[in-house]
Structure 1
Amino acid sequence: MADYSALEKLLHHLALGSAMRGEMIHDIEKGMFLKAAPPDEGRHVFVCGLARAGTTILMREIHGSGAFGSLTYADMPFVLAPNLWKKVSARGAQAGEKKERAHGDGIAVDQHSPEALDEVYWRVFAGKDYIRKDRLTPHKPDREQIAGYCDLIRLVLLRTGKTRYLSKNNNMILRLPALAKAMPDSTFIVPVRDPASHAMSLLAQHRRFADADAFTQKYMQWLGHHEFGATHRPFAWGSEEISGDPATPDYWLARWISAHRALIEAARAHDNVLIVPSDGLAGDPALWPALAARLGIAAKPLQEIRAMPERAAPQIEPDLTKKAAALFAELGDLSRMAFG
């Protein structure tokens, strides 16, 4: 983002800076291409969870199967008009040079890399339903909004020449129960990471993006990314009080507990919501083949999934540690029930 040209920044403003323009661009795309898009046959895959849980790497491994179409960096900034943008832009013709993404986590991306971009749809068409000034709340999209999302999926499949869609979107956990029910043939994968290490990773990213420049802040908001940094708005369920200091690990562990309570409820209520231990994917040779079989893809040798680094946490409030450990154990039980 720091090396974007003035023209690139202007295009991002035009495509993403106004919900009204976003709707208009998407309407043009649908009018031109939706009739030619393949029917929605379901069996899509959605990777979601808290940021820093391993969602990106897992999505990239699944995408490597070649079975799925996804939004990629080449679709930016006109992610709501992937076919129109492909016609008028040269972006995506070549993958280009791989560069480490802004997170500084060793993940390199190019124009063909899939990324978390479809939250733009939800922000444009339903942002008022879940984006608050100080938090993001559970979102129950109505039938029309879900149908519109399925239209976007079909448009991406038309652009990619595939019949199954793959998305990684951390905000999806806010609408997970509604979409899992509405899309029973699809699979929703939730990677889960050791809570203390996860909290420390979130804290590190919060510090990394705390002083982001103005354009980076706008970019993050346009894509619906509020997980950490200067634009942070926590996920919050019900009327829970959000307290604590985001500069401390206690705050992030409390957010981990809140989110995973909701994820446990969703996994217990819907068979197509799968809890997957991130460390297990790297350490248990049986887990990846079992997951691939559930998704109906070949279990190719893993290319990027690796053991996630343990991050030493300073003294955390004992009650939070106890609650997180109990939830982590329960999540492990749910994963074993799903995969044996």
Structure 2
Amino acid sequence: MKALTKTDFHFEGQKSVYHGKVRDVYNINDDLMVMVATDRISAFDVVLPKGIPFKGQVLNQIAAKFLDATSDICPNWKLATPDPMVTVGLKCEGFRVEMIIRSILTGSAWREYKKGCREICGVKLPEGMKENQRFPEPIITPTTKADEGHDLNISKEEIIAQGIMSAEDYAVVEDYTRKLFNRGQEIAVRQGLILVDTKYEFGKRDGKIYLIDEIHTPDSSRYFYADGYEEKFEKGEPQRQLSKEFVRQWLIEHNFMNEPGQQMPEITDEYAASVSDRYIELYEHITGEKFDKAAEEGDIAARIEKNVSAYLKTR
């Protein structure tokens, strides 16, 4: 099984390239972005040494599906998916904030709550909540996008005071965030899932706000299975979830959380294949559609270059 872990394309009109943890983004004439979802996988702010076959395709196709399913709510950057691992869209000036929205007290929010924190990002939390309990209504807990290291929690008031967004832009983005999340939850319910929390990124182009990047993927969102949620919550048992949390748990079991002195465990071909199977399972649960593996024969990078170059000629 092949995996694409590195790209070095030279598309016509290419001005620059940004290699992120899992995505490589090519700037075409300061007008378009070619976003390649590689098969790299990250956890605890580090990229694992082996790629996961079909992971990039899974993420790219889930994001494309949800961008299309929410385009009536707000404009988004996507123009086309010329390859199963690539989205081409409008280049926007991104706000340096991730809009995180949560419907259930879990993950990092629960860890803070357990320590006695009753306010996250300026949002007051009720007393007496339990792990995996629903909030009275979804809460927005933004983070600033850090160039290096962890993103930091920030409140709406701080975002506006620091000039990261104007009050007018923030009001629009907050409204979009709630409406997008509501749509995502409606779609999840039809698949027997609960969209627990997720993040959205927004940018501006010609004075207009666009939804950018991926949405509602297992890398950017947490899903619980609806069946058994209440029962497990009442018993205080862990929820069955669809996210890449299982990779983090495997690393923890192998004594790795990217802390000083810890060594990355070996990622065998067998383990990489099992993670690939889990990602495909995530795709089929989240979308309700069968996953069609992209052709593996030949060079994946050559296929992408051919497909993207053909698309760019039509622009």
Same fold (TM over 0.5): no
Structure with the higher strand share, 1 or 2: 2
TM-score, normalization by structure 1: 0.27
Per the normalisation by structure 2, the TM-score is: 0.28
Q: Which has the higher helix share?
A: 1
